[in-house]
Amino acid sequence: MAKLEILEFPDPRLRTVAKPVAQVDDRTRQLVDDMFETMYAAPGVGLAASQVNVHERVVVIDVSEDQSQPMVFINPEVTVLDEGTLRPYDEGCLSIPGFYETVERPEKVRVNALDRDGKPFELEPDGLLAVCIQHELDHLNGKLFVDYISPVKRQRIRKKLEKQHRLRA
């Protein structure tokens, strides 16, 4: 396994729309393993392949406290089950380190995806897992949680991260 580099906002590569995985094979499974290693080391609870500059529809998630419930979503499709019920969550992101903002998302969704072995499955999560899936699916579509906040806040975050990037360079 290998720890991958996580792209950080405002890197334009984060805006790339991911392509479906044509076939789940050893290369895909290696990507999944590397993404889990990267996510756990960060530490985070979710990571989309787009965040590690692989523009394929692959997401890994583990919302457990002890990293005991790894979940893989390949080519995930989400259906909102309660359009009218939006719930606010404080979201953070490995690609926007150190910043948290309140985002309203549907509380209950259905997700259809392939697992690590390419087998289809369906899940109806709610709460944190539902939010995390929606957040990571946004990444696959070139969208970030800062797109849900005001332009003023988004610009403030952009400037602070750009300054941090200059200081690290």
pLDDT digits (tens, 9 = 90+) for 57-82: 999 999 999 999 999 999 999 999 87
What's the number of domains the chain is made of?
Answer: 1
- Nearest Cα to 94, choosing from 127, 125, 50, 131? 50
pTM of this structure = 0.95
What CA–CA distances, in Å, run from 116 to 56, 150, 158? 14, 37, 34
Residue pointed to by tokens 């890197």:
11
124 is catalytic: no
Residue 23 domain flag: yes
pLDDT computed for residue 165 by the predictor: 86
- CATH code at position 40: 3.90.45.10
User: Does 55 carry a binding-site annotation?
Assistant: no
User: Does 135 carry a binding-site annotation?
Assistant: yes
Residue 152: exposure state from Cβ atoms within 10 A (0-12, 13-18, ≥19): exposed
Q: Which of 8, 56, 101, 136 is catalytic?
A: 136
Residue 5 domain flag: no
pLDDT tens track for 153-167: 999 999 999 999 888
User: Does 139 carry a binding-site annotation?
Assistant: yes
Residue 7 domain flag: no
The residue that leads in pLDDT, 107 or 98, is 98
pLDDT tens track for 111-147: 999 999 999 999 999 889 999 999 999 999 999 999 9
